Structure 1
Amino acid sequence: MRIRVELDERGMVPDRYAKHADAAHLYHGTPTTSFPFAVEEVPDAARTVALAFVDFDSIPVCGFPWIHWCAANIPASEAENGTIRFAENASNLGEHGMVQGRNSSAARWAGGSTDPLLACRYNGPQPPDRTHVYTLAAFALDTELPLREGFWMSEMVDGMRGHVIGHAVADLPARA
């Protein structure tokens, strides 16, 4: 499997999907318009696809990897010629019938937002100290996970055990 993301001329996540987004792409000061991307070479045997978008560079800043987005139960049957395409703003549009989990904005120590438009959707990169590299991972699964909207990423990871038949990772830098 492979993930394809179009970066800007500096090789970064384009500003409209990150910290420097204009007002049209912000919700309560947070960039919530997800960037377009494609997951290629989805195995024919896959039943669903799951996604995770995580900032491991946040560990020195806040003490844990910041979860920016997680989604599951994207039907592998959505693939055309082995590729599932995610349009701009796929998270807010609920594209492909994805079930979305909580991001770190929902954590008690990070404000504990209960607004599903902020806590259960894509939250774009907002590195506070320097350029961070964000990890987008896609997992092809041989099953549908027993998850509901607002799940915790740990529930997704637990459910995926023994069911991953393919995966891909893309490291995406975003500027401070």
Structure 2
Amino acid sequence: MGEMRLTSPAFKDNGRIPARYTCDGDNINPELRIEHVPDGTKSLALVMEDPDAPNGLWVHWILWNMGPRTAELVEQAEPREVVIGKNSWGHNRYGGPCPPSSTHRYIFRLYALDTTLELAGTASKGQLDVAMQDHVIEEAVLTGLYGGG
């Protein structure tokens, strides 16, 4: 990974996500801050996933075609002119952490891309992964933890 950074004022990397951003709270997206987007970036994509879900990877939120100058995603709002794909619940919106048991990792992955993507909002993470192939300039990761009391 390079210089690009993804952080949140709501929680530190590998820290606990506050309940406000989960199904136990208001189920709204936390504020995210983006720094040091590399030159040549045409768009940004973001994926939030839970690799610890009982039935395999669970996608909570996917967005793409964010402008390369996007510096933050404000709490409880997606940026304008962004495409929001389908999460594992089949919804085109943020779905907060909601683990059935134990503490799970929630990984926010930010991708700097050398193109904008021609993908409809009906696209899933798998379709996004295919569309991004060979277009990722850099990736930044932020991990939050939730569950387990």
Q: SS at 2:89's partner residue? A: helix
1:89 equivalent in structure 2? 76
Q: CA offset at residue 19 of structure 1?
A: 3.0
CA contact (8 A) 1:145 1:159 kept: yes
Q: CA offset at residue 41 of structure 1?
A: 0.9
Q: 1:96 to 1:44 in 2, by over 3 A?
A: farther
1:6 equivalent in structure 2? 9
Q: TM-score, structure 1 length as denominator?
A: 0.77
Q: CA offset at residue 96 of structure 1?
A: 3.5
1:51 equivalent in structure 2? 46
Deviations 1:93-142 (A, max 9, x none): xx132101000002xxxxxxxxxxxx111100011111111110000001
CA contact (8 A) 2:110 2:140 kept: yes
CA contact (8 A) 1:75 1:96 kept: no
Structure 1 unaligned spans of 5+? 26-30, 107-118
Q: 1:8 to 1:48 in 2, by over 3 A?
A: closer
2:34 equivalent in structure 1? 39
Aligned residues: CA RMSD: 1.7
Greater helix proportion: 1
Equivalenced residue count is 144
Q: TM-score, structure 2 length as denominator?
A: 0.90
Whole-angstrom distance in 2 between the partners of 1:43 and 1:100 = 23
Q: CA offset at residue 6 of structure 1?
A: 2.6
Structure 1 position 19 matched with structure 2 position 23:
yes
> Following superposition of structure 1 onto structure 2, how do residues 87-126 of structure 1 map, counting pairs within 5 Å?
87-91=74-78, 95-106=79-90, 119-126=91-98
The counterpart of 2:67, out of the listed 47, 51, 75, is 75
Whole-angstrom distance in 1 between the partners of 2:128 and 2:43 = 12
1:159 equivalent in structure 2? 131
Q: SS at 2:111's partner residue? A: strand
Higher Cα Rg, which structure = 1
Whole-angstrom distance in 2 between the partners of 1:8 and 1:69 = 18
1:129 equivalent in structure 2? 101
Q: SS at 1:151's partner residue? A: coil
CA contact (8 A) 2:49 2:106 kept: yes
CA contact (8 A) 1:3 1:168 kept: yes
Query: What residue identity is the alignment partner of 1:66?
Result: W
CA contact (8 A) 2:46 2:63 kept: yes
